[in-house]
Chains A and B, each alone.
Chain A
Amino acid sequence: MPTPLRVATPDAALQLLSLFQREARLIDFTQENLSAYSDADIGAAARVVHEGCAKVLKEHFTIQPVRSEAEGSRVELPEGFDAAAVRLTGNVVGKAPFRGTLSHRGWRAADVRLPKLAEAHDAAILAPAEVEL
């Protein structure tokens, strides 16, 4: 018997894309061919993307590090630690408690606040075409 898998609904993903496009022009940015431009031009555009993405993340998610210790410090993982939240790497042998060096603090979305959508709203339109009259 096959294990049932969850299918992610496309709406939330489309919505997030739409936010990244609206605030950060992410789709515009990634659809372009970088080879045609100088680093200065790319840098200027990257500011728009960086600022906008940061805004979307800040407004719609509460993102916190999984581990509060400084990276590079020694940490101890007791028995029964959450293997989904902490990934062991390198010399993975023996049994808990594990002692090691924190190489990345990890990120956890403590809260997600996506906009609500009207019943009839077509989320597939990530950005409407614009026609100036």
Chain B
Amino acid sequence: MSDPRYAIGIDLGTTHSALSYVNLQASDGEKTQHGVLAIPQLTAPGTIEELPLLPSFLYLPHADELAPGENKLPWQQTAEEQTGVAGEMARSRGATTPIRLVSSAKSWLSHPGVDRRSALLPHDAPEEVTRVSPLAASTRYLSHLRRAWDQAHPDAPFGEQAVTVTIPASFDPGARELTAEAARAAGYTNLTLLEEPQAALYSWIQGSEGRWRKDVKPGDIILVVDVGGGTSDFSLIAVLERDGVLEPHRIAVGDHILLGGDNMDLALAHLVARKLAANGTQLDAWQMRALTYGCRTAKEKLLADATVATWPIVVPSRGSKLIGGSVRTELTREEVSTFILDGFFPQVEASARPAVRTRAGLTQLGLPYAQDAGITRHLAAFLARQVGATAELEGYAGKQGAGAANAEATFLHPTAVLFNGGVFKSDLLAQRILGAINDWLYLEGAEPARRLDGADLDLAVARGAAYYSYVRRGTGVRIRGGTARSYYVAIESAMPAIPGMEPPIQALCVAPFGMEEGSEIALPNQEFGLVVGEPVQFRFFGSSVRRQDQIGDLLDFWGQDELIEMNEIQANLSPEGRQSGDVVQVRLHAMATESGTLELAAVANDGQRWKVEFDVRTA
């Protein structure tokens, strides 16, 4: 294969996807020539427009719904591709026919409670709609982007370029693996995965054209707050100095929080709809969507300009009588403040924690949305959990945070904050979060954190991903860090059974924190006897705080929040060359692959390997 000419970055978002690129031949050091691909997509039947973002929606039209040829794209589509429409038209059509709309495929892809390879979307579609799996939907978006690239660059085929796809930092190994699988199915060959908050920081570094070295200093701890359409994602990045060179290290990532800007707009829309309903006006689904858009605009205006007290919202009539048929209403500053600021960005103490409601007996097959809408509470919990994140970091020993030598700190003290995600187009919301953090810092005697400016909120992730593809090839700064969690399998303790009690378990560390990509470690002194042909399940745990555990460490006790149980993992020894029913002694190996996924393998003494699956199909 010839050398890539472009470094491509793809932001596969919950609500929008984008593709950015760096021209490798025209770039040198921190001076890059880069761009964003205009993505041809249907915006209405038979109408193709090139837009910088591809809405991550897939519409599955009825056979009679579109006139022949009206769903054609500028490239040759396979029969399967023709069964669905991705992009802007999918989003607008789906508003009137939601039973045929696949949305939030990415959230489903990271939903551990469902079989993500099974055709289950749209989740409330009637029988006759041929559903698709979260994996297949993600594949569609990725393949649409690949086709768009190939059409625009016939001389530099996608398959020959270096490609980075972004994922939330909070994605577990299973969701990472599935994203890589979707990309492979979409024809991606040279693939690397990158965490979105890191991509945002890369974009900021790229945008500063070298000035970032003045804006950050060794000892800084950068908090990246990324609130997208559907998810909130936090990461901490420490700035180290090695041999006179600044080296950012990603030291911690947050949990997966399904809470984003769309929830805010929807919450406002429901508030306004209730007001209208009180006056006898009922809105249908189509009008609700128009109202949601109206609320987003009103929210941004009201939050941006303190002199505006109310902002009018007009929901157009469904029929052709626009005048008289339209519903006029308004949103007031007070409503936005109460709902958005106090609801999603409450001013809380550093000791605040998100409320966890115990789930009802029957868990519905739906997305596990965050149960507490307070983003600041989630943030407080994250910083507190990571209070020891720098304890073993070179140059940070003995101090929490950068400057303040404060052993009493109850949370990790960030010194700088980078915001990302469309939500922060309302600058007030960024200020609100920064204000909360600085209040917490002040109470612990630390310097206020400063804000890193200049990120492009919509495209930073795609841009940063392209830049990462570029710096991976040897030039420019790279964020270090390795895997952001340590992983464990449960081992039953050899203790006498006590009636009525589950046998206690021990946690065996099978992959330590911070494994660098390309590394592989074997589990010492621990062999498992696995039966050929019989799948074995292990309970599987991850920890975002236990940095010191080494592979092979066996834990008897751990703090309540230290280990989070994930989906079971499964080793299935296919009987290649062996007798079914034989017992084979295997050791577990952990690998951090070059492409950014984690792999576990069972390796027999003779070297034969079997992959341990993170994503176990539920029967």
Residues in A lying within 8 Å of B, measured CB to CB: 15, 18, 22, 25, 28-29, 31-32, 34, 36-37, 40-42, 44-45, 47-49, 113, 115-122, 128, 130, 132
Complex alpha-carbon distance, A37 and B322, angstroms: 11
- Interface members, chain B 59-105 (any A CB < 8 Å): 67-70, 72, 74, 96
B10-18, B46-54, B141-149, B415-423 - the one binding chain A: B46-54
* Shortest Cβ-Cβ A-B pairs, 3 listed: A121-B46, A118-B46, A44-B328
Which residues on the B side are within 8 Å of A44 (C-beta)? Answer: 312, 314, 323, 326, 328
Instruction: Judge whether B152 is part of the interface by a CB distance below 8 angstroms.
Output: no
Residues of A within 8 A of B69 (CB): 118-121
Seed contacts A32-B322, A37-B323; 14 additional CB < 8 Å A-B pairs: A28-B320, A28-B322, A42-B323, A45-B314, A45-B323, A115-B47, A115-B48, A115-B49, A116-B49, A120-B46, A120-B69, A121-B46, A121-B47, A122-B46
* Pair B70/A25 contact, Cβ less than 8 Å: no
Summed over the interface, the residue pairs from A and B with CB atoms below 8 Å come to a total of 82
Name B312-348 residues within 8 Å CB distance of A: 312, 314, 316, 318, 320-324, 326, 328
Given that A118-B72, A120-B67 are contacting pairs, would A29 and B47 also be in contact in the complex, using a CB cutoff of 8 Å?
no
In the bound complex, CA of A103 to CA of B513 (Å): 69
Residues of A within 8 Å of B323, CB to CB, are 29, 32, 34, 37, 41-42, 44-45
Out of A29, A45, A118, A132, which one reaches B48, CB within 8 Å? A118
Contacts of B46 in A (CB 8 A): 117-118, 120-122
CB of B157 within 8 Å of the partner chain: no
Interface members, chain B 34-55 (any A CB < 8 Å): 40, 43-50
Measured between beta carbons, the chain A residues less than 8 angstroms from B48 are 115-118
**B49:A31 contact, CB within 8 angstroms:** no
Contact for B50 among A40, A113, A130, CB less than 8 A: A113
Residue of A36, A48, A118 near B314 (CB, 8 A) is A48
Partner of A47, one of B50, B70, B74, B312: B312
> When the two chains form their complex, are residues A48 and B326 in contact, meaning their CB atoms are under 8 A apart?
yes
Nearest chain B CB to A52 CB, angstrom units: 9
Contact, CB under 8 Å: B68 / A120:
yes
CB nearest neighbor in B for A40: B328
Residues of B within 8 A of A119 (CB): 69, 72
Pick 11 A–B contacts, CB within 8 A, sort by A: A18-B44, A25-B316, A28-B322, A31-B320, A44-B323, A47-B314, A116-B47, A118-B69, A119-B72, A121-B70, A122-B67
Q: With A and B bound together, what is the CA distance between A18 and B44 in angstroms?
A: 10
Q: In the bound complex, what is the Cα–Cα distance between A18 and B87 (angstroms)?
A: 19
A34 to B322, CA, bound (A): 11
Point out the residues of chain A lying under 8 angstroms from B49, CB to CB: 113, 115-116
Note all chain A residues with C-beta closer than 8 A to B320: 28, 31
Contacts of A113 in B (CB 8 A): 49-50
What is the CA–CA distance of A120 and B45 in the complex, to the nearest angstrom? Answer: 10
B380 CB to closest chain A CB, in angstroms? 38
Partner of B326, one of A34, A45, A118, A122: A45
Question: In chain B, what residue has the closest Cβ to A121?
Answer: B46
Q: Which residues of B contact A45 (CB under 8 A)?
A: 314, 316, 322-324, 326
* Chain B contacts with A in 274-326, Cβ cutoff 8 A: 312, 314, 316, 318, 320-324, 326
Q: Mark B543-584, 1 if CB is under 8 A from A, else 0.
A: 000000000000000000000000000000000000000000
Q: Across the interface, do A22 and B326 meet the contact criterion of CB distance under 8 Å? A: no
C-alpha gap A49/B323 in the complex (Å): 11
B297 to chain A, nearest CB (A): 8
Let me know if A115 and B324 touch, CB within 8 A: no
B41 to chain A, nearest CB (A): 10
Cα separation A12 to B270 with both chains bound (whole Å): 39
With contacts A34-B323, A41-B323, A45-B322 known, is A118 near B50, CB below 8 A?
Answer: no
Smallest beta-carbon distance A6→chain B, Å: 25
Which residues of B lie under 8 Å from residue A15 when comparing CB positions?
47
**In the complex, A40→B44 CA distance in Å?**
32
